[in-house]
Amino acid sequence: MLAATIDAPTRTRPVLEVENLKAYYQMNYFGVSREVRAVDDVTLTINRNEIYGIAGESSSGKSTLIKTIAGAITPPLRVVSGSVKFDFGGSQLDVYARPKAMKAARWRHLSYIMQGSMNVLNPVRKVRHAFDDFAFRHMGLSPAQFRSRVEGHLKRLGLDPRVLESYPHQLSGGMRQRLTIALATVCEPEFIIADEPTTALDVLVQQDVLALIKDVQQRLGSSVVFVTHDMTVHAAIADRIGIVYAGRLVEEGPTDDAFARPQHPYTAHLISSLPRLGDVSRRKALPGKPPNLSDPPSGCRFHPRCPLAIDRCKVENPPLVSRATGRVACWRAGEVEVA
């Protein structure tokens, strides 16, 4: 097992360090230029052997944040400033300083379970080819050894190795999602990005898939960044959670603390909108929509929708400051009550 080869000191260093990352969409279309600040000054670290949840409404910039971390950006999205550094078993990898090294590390150290995983397998080729294309070159095995390694991996994950000879359209959505999890973990990478992996699945299959991800993560000791808008999923799986609003990280902390004592009013809103057993009162909807990122509000970007907003919130952007267990960016942090 790969995790065993990593010596003790490097184990304690974080696997990912993101510093002051800014990534904007810069467009010029028929004479109109626009700049969308989809990732705006994000700093975060992710430790070994943890599941880090990224939460936020759709179009909050959380998907762009993930793409930027994975080094998978294409114009018009550009990294304006900041850095993304991985540490895989002692070797530092700066994503935007050395893109070549990044390409070599893909799937070996960093793999991906994608949003809409239903369509991530090539529809005209057998599933087997996906494993050959993604993983074979990293393993240093003969084709026969590789084949038996893949089959063994599938069996451990509770999948019938015969699916390798199927085409994607012959498999159910849940089966395909489990296959992509197998595909993402076959090289035993240190870092796995899971972008809305359960969104398109029905609830029962969702449970299975979550359990599978958690199980593989614990076995490999990998770190998982888990992105979803679904707070119940975060509650079930994440060790720590980061809340993204309008391209900014507004709160971060251990999942239990964040759910029990949210510091940011937006976090409180996300949590209070969850249904709870035995609670029949109506949920209060938050007025307004997430802001247009090409023309965000001044000061704290949440202030137009915030029930606690004061004048200061409209002019001054609150910095992300450390609290007892996490970090929060709010002038009135701590005054929040969960409805």
> What is the rounded CA–CA span in Å between residue 248 and residue 297?
13
Query: Is-contact 336 308, C-beta < 8 A?
Result: yes
Q: Does 65 bind other proteins (CB under 8 A)?
A: no
Q: Does 88 bind other proteins (CB under 8 A)?
A: no
Q: Does 119 bind other proteins (CB under 8 A)?
A: yes
The distance in angstroms from the start CA to the end CA of the chain is: 47
Cβ 327 to other proteins shortest distance, Å: 29
Report the residue number, 62 or 264, with the smaller CB distance to other proteins: 62
Q: Does 322 bind other proteins (CB under 8 A)?
A: no
Q: Does 296 bind other proteins (CB under 8 A)?
A: no
Among 7, 29, 143, 285, binds other proteins (CB under 8 A): 29
Stretch that binds other proteins, among 1-9, 124-132, 302-310, 317-325 (CB under 8 A): 124-132
Q: Judged by CB under 8 A, how many residues of this single chain contact other proteins?
A: 36
Handedness of CA 178, 184, 190, 194 (dihedral sign): negative
Stretch that binds other proteins, among 79-87, 104-112, 267-275, 295-303 (CB under 8 A): 104-112
Among 3, 45, 82, 134, binds other proteins (CB under 8 A): 134
Query: Is-contact 313 299, C-beta < 8 A?
Result: yes
Among 23, 77, 237, 249, binds other proteins (CB under 8 A): 77
Handedness of CA 55, 66, 15, 50 (dihedral sign): positive
Stretch that binds other proteins, among 125-133, 247-255, 273-281, 323-331 (CB under 8 A): 125-133
Stretch that binds other proteins, among 27-35, 39-47, 199-207, 318-326 (CB under 8 A): 27-35
Q: Does 148 bind other proteins (CB under 8 A)?
A: no
- Residue 243, H or E segment: strand 240-245
Q: Does 98 bind other proteins (CB under 8 A)?
A: no
Q: Does 16 bind other proteins (CB under 8 A)?
A: no
Show Cβ contacts of residue 63 under 8 Å, excluding neighbours closer than 6 positions: 115, 195, 196, 227
Tokens 């705006």 found at: 40
Binding mask 190-229 for other proteins (x = CB under 8 A): ----------------------------------------
> What is the rounded CA–CA span in Å between residue 300 and residue 314?
6
Q: Does 22 bind other proteins (CB under 8 A)?
A: no
Q: Which 8-state DSSP code applies to residue 183?
A: H
Q: Does 116 bind other proteins (CB under 8 A)?
A: yes
Q: Alpha carbon of 306 to those of 38, 61, 257, 330: distances in Å? A: 21, 19, 21, 11
> What is the rounded CA–CA span in Å between residue 12 and residue 205?
35
> What is the rounded CA–CA span in Å between residue 105 and residue 93?
9
User: Phi and psi for 62 in degrees, rounded to 5?
Assistant: -70, -35
Cβ 275 to other proteins shortest distance, Å: 26
Interface residues with other proteins (CB under 8 A)?
Answer: 25, 27, 29-31, 34, 36, 70, 72, 75-77, 103-107, 111-112, 114, 116-125, 129, 133-134, 167, 169-170
